[in-house]
Every structure is written in C-alpha cells, then in structure tokens.
C-alpha cells in the first residue's frame, strides 16, 4: 500500500494561502518570503504537516511543561512582519532567536544589502538557530547568545528591531540602538494583556502606529506583573502591574459576596473579537486588570468571566467587576459585567459604559507612546485633551491615549 503525502512545497503554499485568508502577509515582499523560506528545515523534530500548519511548534519546554522556545504561529509571524515594514538594505535586530526561521525571513526581506542580527539568552536556543540558519544558506545572519534586553550594540544602529518574545518592559538599549525614524515591533504587555505594537522612533519617543492582540513566551527577568488568588481554593486569580494599587488580600472572599450583574445591550457574533474593550480601557482607567478562572470556578458558578482564562476586570479596594457574556439569540451574545463587593455594582456599570464606548467605533485603537523612565514629565506628550493613562514600568514609561 502506498501512502500519498503532500510535498513541503505544496504544504507551504497552502500555509501562505491560509495566512492571506486571515488578512496577513499583505505586503508582497512578506508573502514572497514566506513562500520561499522552508519552515520545516527549522523544526526538524516536527512532522512536515505540523511545520506548515497554523500552529506554534514548541521546541523547548520547562520542567513544568510550559514553553520556553518555539516557532511562532505562522499567521502571527506574517502579521508582525507586515508591521515591521522591512525595506531592502535595512539593518535588523531580532530579540528571541527561536528556531532561526524568523531570522531567515528577515534576511530574505532585507536582501544582500542589509544585515540581520538575532539575540537569545539561551545557548541551546542560539545553537539550534545557528544550525538551522547554516543548513539553509543563511550563514551571514549573526547569532548572539546574550540577554535580549541588552540588544546588540556592536551592530547598531538598526533600522528595524523586532521582538519574537513577549516583553513587559523596554530597556534603554532600544532607544540607543534604534535609528531615528526606525521601526520597533514588540509583543508588549501592560495591564495584563499583550499587543504586538509597531512603534516608530520620534526623537526620544516611540510612537505606535498599529497594534494587534497576540501572546508570546515571556522574556526572562522581567517581573513587573503581580498576581494573587482571590478565593480560598485558589481557583480565581487576579493579574495586575507593579505600579497599580491593587491588593489581592483586600479582595479575598469577594466572590462570595452578593453579585450584581449589568448588561450593556451590545451584541457580538460568535467569531467577533471584543478585546478592543480591554485595550481601550488601559488608556482610560488605572484600575484595569485581568481575571482568570479555573474550570471548577466556572462550573460551580463562583466566577464566570466572558473568557475564563483571560478577561478584563476593574478592581477597587474590596470590590471587583469583570466582563461577562450571555447568549441571547441564535448566534448572538450580549456583553455585560458582574460585580461583587461594596462597589461591585458601580464597577459593573462603569465597565458597561466602556463596552458601549467601544461599540461606537470597534476598530479604534489608542495611541501608545513609550519613553525611557528617566524622561522628565514636561517632555512627554499627552495628546492634548485626549483621555490618557501613564503606566510606569521599571525602565520605561507608557502613555496610552484614547479619543
């Protein structure tokens, strides 16, 4: 019996067709690079079918099973390359070497007149990336084993910098090493959600011009996010940033208090995203955080967030409200909020106000400006009279502005 399988070339073509159908690889150069570079050569342990499926291929795990390194989901790779807008001859820095596949794509995009440097803290990862790059004719890509937060000053300045690992903070290296007018694309985490943000350097400010929801393996050593259980069994956890005044201890047992539910009359379809509510709120409310509920918490009706593992919440002293959803008709769902505690009802109503504001322009995105933490406040732009929140990180300061 003969088994017929698709060739790598056929599977790669189908992968790119899937990426295009999802609205990515909009640049002809990005599309051509993804049709040219053989992803299966960088993940030899995976089947060729998995190599060209729209999935992350995990290449290294921690002892607890969590991913330490991977080849990212191809649609996300294409999305971020679109954001990066590489031009022929660009000097490019990549933070997070992974398998070397993304560096090979970058080399294809910048061409023989440019250069690519990729950095990773893990010597096993850089050794694997080096092998993959050498085996595919990309010996000219420089691979450095180093803490990615330091960048690679020896090849600076860079026209383009891209992170293929999640960052909570931005260190001074990226202002020092990015050329004026250069672009930086980074999966940046603030208020417990992660967006792939494309920044353009404008003097000492990095100013966003696009952002897309994403998720990435986090950088090692950036510990600015806090978390704490808010129920006795540890089934429901709150996540917030170090600059917020949230105290999980004050919220202990809040879910056992009477709940107040408020519905917004805003409807979504089963495939319609509503992450823009959370993103918008990061520029309007300093109390925004994330709630995560285990299956047991949902099944026992202790806590039922719209998306159990990650939903926006508002926390104030001993009160909490979080985003909720209910089915109201075939294929339609209503968004709302569930509140607990002394001010739970008010918080739920305020969350619904934000849902309704988002509903007026679902495609609107805030502007994010990033500055070194040492920047004096008078030098920071607050976008006139727009609503804004200043988010203090350890090495950077974000200003999130919302119309």
Q: Phi/psi of residue 132, each to 5°? A: -65, -40
| CB of 344 closer than 8 Å to CB of 291 | no
| CB of 397 closer than 8 Å to CB of 390 | yes
Q: Per residue, what are the HEC states of 228-284? A: EECCCCCCEEEEEECCCCCCHHHHCCHHHCCEEEEEEEEEECCCCCCCHHHHHHCCC
Kind of pairing between the strands at 91-95 and 115-120: parallel
153 tagged catalytic? no
Q: Phi/psi of residue 23, each to 5°? A: 95, 15
| CB of 328 closer than 8 Å to CB of 231 | no
| CB of 236 closer than 8 Å to CB of 292 | yes
Q: Which of 27, 66, 69, 227 is catalytic?
A: 69
Whole-angstrom Cα distance, residue 205 to residue 370?
A: 6
CB neighbourhood size of 157 (10 A): 15
Among 54, 366, 357, 18, smallest CA distance to 211 is for: 366
Catalytic annotation, residues: 69
């Amino acid at each position: 019996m003969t088994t017929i399988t698709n060739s790598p070339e056929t599977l790669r073509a189908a992968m790119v067709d899937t990426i295009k159908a999802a609205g990515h690889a909009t640049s002809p150069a990005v599309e051509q690079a993804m049709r040219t570079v053989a992803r299966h050569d960088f993940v030899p342990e995976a089947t060729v079918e998995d190599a060209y499926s729209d999935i992350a291929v995990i290449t290294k795990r921690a002892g607890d099973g969590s991913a330490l390194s991977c080849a990212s989901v191809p649609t996300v790779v294409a999305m971020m390359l679109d954001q990066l807008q590489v031009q022929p001859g660009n000097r490019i820095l990549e933070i997070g070497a992974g398998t070397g596949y993304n560096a090979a794509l970058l080399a294809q995009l910048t061409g023989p007149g440019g250069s690519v440097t990729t950095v990773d803290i893990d010597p096993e990862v850089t050794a694997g990336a080096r092998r993959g790059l050498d085996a595919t004719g990309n010996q000219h890509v420089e691979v450095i084993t180093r803490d990615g937060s330091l960048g690679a000053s020896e090849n600076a300045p860079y026209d383009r910098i891209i992170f293929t690992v999640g960052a909570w903070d931005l260190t001074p290296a990226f202002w020092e090493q990015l050329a004026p007018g250069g672009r930086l694309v980074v999966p940046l985490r603030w208020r417990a959600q992660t967006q792939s943000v494309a920044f353009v350097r404008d003097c000492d400010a990095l100013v966003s011009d696009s952002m897309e929801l994403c998720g990435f393996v986090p950088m090692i050593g950036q510990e600015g996010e806090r978390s704490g259980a808010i129920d006795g069994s540890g089934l429901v956890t709150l996540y917030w940033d170090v600059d917020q005044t949230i105290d999980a201890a004050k919220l202990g047992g809040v879910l056992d208090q009477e709940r107040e539910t408020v519905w917004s009359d805003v409807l979504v379809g089963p495939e319609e995203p509503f992450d823009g509510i959370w993103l918008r709120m990061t520029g309007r409310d300093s109390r925004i955080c994330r709630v995560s509920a285990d299956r047991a918490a949902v099944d026992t009706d202790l806590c039922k967030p719209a998306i159990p593992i990650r939903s926006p919440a508002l926390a104030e002293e001993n009160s909490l409200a979080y985003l909720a959803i209910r089915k109201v008709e075939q294929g339609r769902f209503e968004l709302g909020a569930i509140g607990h505690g002394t001010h739970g009802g008010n918080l739920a109503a305020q969350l619904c106000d934000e849902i309704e504001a988002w509903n007026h322009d679902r495609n609107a995105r805030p502007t994010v400006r990033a500055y070194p933490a040492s920047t004096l406040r008078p030098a920071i732009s607050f976008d006139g009279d727009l609503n804004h929140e200043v988010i203090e990180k350890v090495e950077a300061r974000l200003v999130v502005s919302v119309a």
